[in-house]
Amino acid sequence: MKEQRITSWLELQEALFSNSWNEPLGRYRSSFVFRGVKDARHDLSASLYRSGAFIRQERDLLRAFRKYARGVPGTAPLSSLWDWLALAQHHGLPTRLLDWTFSPYVALHFITEDPDFYEVDGVVWCVDYRVTNRLLPRPLRQQLHQEGAEVFTAEMLAAEAEDLTSFDRLARHPFVLFFEPPSLDARIVNQFALFSVMNAPGPSLDEFLQHQEKGVRRLVVPAALKWEVRDKLDQANVTERVLFPGLDGLSRWLRRYYGPRPR
Alpha helix (H) ranges present in the chain? Answer: 9-16, 58-69, 81-90, 104-112, 129-132, 138-147, 154-160, 164-168, 186-190, 205-209, 226-235, 240-243, 247-257
Mean pLDDT for 61-86 is 86
Kindly tell me if the per-residue pLDDT of 153 is higher than 80.
yes
User: What confidence category does residue 203 fall into, taking pLDDT thresholds of 50, 70 and 90?
Assistant: low
Higher pLDDT, 181 or 12: 12
Give the Cα separation of 127 and 124 in Å (integer): 10
Q: Which pLDDT score is estimated for 204?
A: 80
Kindly tell me if the per-residue pLDDT of 51 is higher than 60.
no
CA neighbor of 164 nearest in space, from 255, 74, 55: 55
Kindly tell me if the per-residue pLDDT of 195 is higher than 60.
yes
Domain residue ranges in the chain: 2-224
Q: Which pLDDT score is estimated for 31?
A: 94
Mean pLDDT for 171-188 is 90
Pick from 47-56, 92-101, 194-203: least confident: 47-56
Pick from 49-58, 171-180, 233-242: least confident: 49-58
Q: Indicate the average pLDDT of the chain.
A: 92
Q: Which pLDDT score is estimated for 262?
A: 67
Kindly tell me if the per-residue pLDDT of 146 is higher than 70.
yes
Kindly tell me if the per-residue pLDDT of 52 is higher than 80.
no
